[in-house]
């Protein structure tokens, strides 16, 4: 009995050993590689570049005061639609004290001069009426009286200009009133009541009181890389995608390409501008960021394959096609336009060819 048990245990151990060896051997054998295949297909291939930028009004004007002073009143707010000539703000003049003192002194002197000229005029008028003096002698006093009146009027106007910025009898709108120079929408009012403002002159741009723009005419302003700028030209169609209005695509027409590039982050960028075709039902705000797809080239209904299937040998491109199940041979092809994903096949393949996929 003991002998049988020993033989049985020995047989089991040998069996387990043989099974283990067999299992490890099978596991070590490499499984045959099975390659998937695909066929060429007919599609449209579009080569395009993307320009990033923003949508801005074509006409955007900064309204500046004609005189320096302090903002006394604001008559509009951001978003208000105004017409040319509409009142935007009013400036209160803070006169220069030296000029004001000189102007007041001139008025006082003019009044004294006028009073003296009037006395001489009245005295000599009586003498003229009594035929005591000749008319030629009287004309001198008449001239002095008239001149004195004009001098007082001029001095008073000068004082009024220094105080108010405008004379009462000028018949023109006062310089203290700031008015719009175009029809449009008020985009921004960077000042508040009480702020000091400076007039625009030869030495100073002046303080911007309001920014007004025509929101009915917008342009796309963006940048194109130097590697693509030679492929675009005026009149090309652009498809705009505005970040805040993803559901709608806008068409635009390229109008301007900058003749000079600027370096940004180590790359040369060229500015472009395109007129945007607005949609009446959608309000496009100034400054929206946008991307413009510019179609550089296009092929319609051409035979194509995925560009990832192509291999290269020297200056030639080739693919591997299936001749028998899992048997492939090299075939050189001629390629055309590529959009970075699919590439046009000019010759070397048919729609029936099975092309080996690269694992």
- pLDDT per residue rounded down to tens, the chain (359 residues): 567 666 766 766 777 777 777 666 666 655 667 778 888 888 988 888 888 999 999 999 999 988 888 898 999 999 999 999 999 998 887 766 666 677 778 888 888 888 888 888 888 888 877 777 788 877 888 888 888 888 888 887 777 766 666 556 555 556 778 899 999 999 999 999 989 888 887 788 889 999 999 999 999 999 998 888 888 888 888 889 998 888 889 999 999 999 999 998 888 999 999 999 998 889 999 999 999 988 888 888 889 988 888 888 888 888 888 788 877 888 888 888 888 888 888 888 888 888 888 76
> What gap in Å lies between CA 283 and CA 280, rounded to an integer?
7
The dihedral through the CA atoms of 172, 176, 182, 186 has a sign that is negative
Q: What is the DSSP letter of 172?
A: S
Architecture of domain 65-91+175-210 in CATH? Beta Barrel (2.40)
Are 181 and 61 spatial neighbours (Cβ–Cβ below 8 Å)? yes
Q: How many CB atoms lie within 10 A of CB 300?
A: 9
Are 182 and 84 spatial neighbours (Cβ–Cβ below 8 Å)? yes
CATH of span 37-45+300-356: 2.40.420.20
Are 49 and 294 spatial neighbours (Cβ–Cβ below 8 Å)? yes
The residue extents of the domains of the chain are 37-45+300-356, 50-57+215-298, 65-91+175-210, 97-164
Q: What is the DSSP letter of 243?
A: T
User: Topology of 50-57+215-298 in CATH?
Assistant: Elongation Factor Tu (Ef-tu); domain 3 (2.40.30)
Selecting from 3.40.50.800, 1.10.287.470, 1.10.287.110, 1.10.357.10, what CATH number does the domain 97-164 have? 1.10.287.470
Question: H-helix or E-strand containing 110?
Answer: helix 97-129
Are 87 and 74 spatial neighbours (Cβ–Cβ below 8 Å)? no
> What gap in Å lies between CA 208 and CA 64, rounded to an integer?
5
Instruction: State the pTM of this model.
Output: 0.62
Are 159 and 184 spatial neighbours (Cβ–Cβ below 8 Å)? no
Q: How many residues does the chain have?
A: 359
């Amino acid at each position: 009995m003991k002998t049988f048990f020993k033989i049985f245990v020995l047989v089991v151990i040998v069996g387990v050993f043989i099974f283990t060896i067999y299992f490890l051997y099978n596991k070590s054998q490499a499984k045959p590689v099975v390659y998937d295949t695909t066929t060429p297909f007919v599609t449209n291939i579009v080569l395009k570049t993307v320009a990033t930028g923003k949508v801005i009004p074509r006409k955007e004007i900064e309204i500046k005061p004609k005189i320096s002073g302090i903002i006394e009143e604001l008559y509009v707010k951001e978003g208000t639609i105004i017409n040319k000539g509409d009142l935007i703000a009013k400036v209160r003049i803070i006169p220069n004290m030296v000029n004001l003192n000189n102007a007041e002194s001139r008025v006082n002197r003019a009044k004294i001069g006028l009073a003296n000229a009037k006395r001489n005029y009245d005295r000599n008028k009586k003498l003229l009426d009594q035929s005591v003096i000749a008319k030629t002698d009287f004309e001198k006093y008449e001239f002095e009286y008239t001149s004195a009146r004009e001098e007082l009027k001029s001095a008073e106007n000068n004082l009024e200009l220094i105080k108010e910025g405008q004379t009462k009898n000028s018949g023109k709108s006062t310089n203290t009133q700031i008015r719009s120079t175009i029809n449009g929408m008020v985009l921004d009012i960077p000042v508040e009541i009480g702020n000091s403002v400076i007039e625009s002159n030869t030495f100073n741009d002046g303080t911007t009181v309001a920014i007004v723009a025509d929101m009915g005419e917008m342009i796309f302003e963006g940048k194109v890389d130097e590697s693509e700028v030679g492929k675009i030209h005026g009149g090309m169609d652009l498809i705009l995608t505005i970040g805040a209005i993803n559901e709608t695509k806008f068409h635009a027409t390229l109008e301007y390409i900058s003749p000079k590039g600027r370096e940004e982050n180590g790359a040369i960028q060229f500015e472009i501008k395109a007129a945007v075709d607005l949609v009446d039902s959608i309000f496009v705000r100034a400054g929206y960021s946008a991307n413009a797809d510019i179609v550089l080239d296009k092929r319609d209904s051409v035979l194509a394959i995925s560009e990832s299937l192509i291999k290269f040998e020297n200056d030639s491109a080739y693919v591997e096609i299936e001749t028998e199940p899992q048997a492939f041979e090299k075939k050189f092809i001629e390629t055309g336009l590529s959009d970075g994903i699919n590439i046009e096949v000019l010759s070397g393949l048919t729609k029936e060819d099975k092309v080996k996929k690269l694992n």
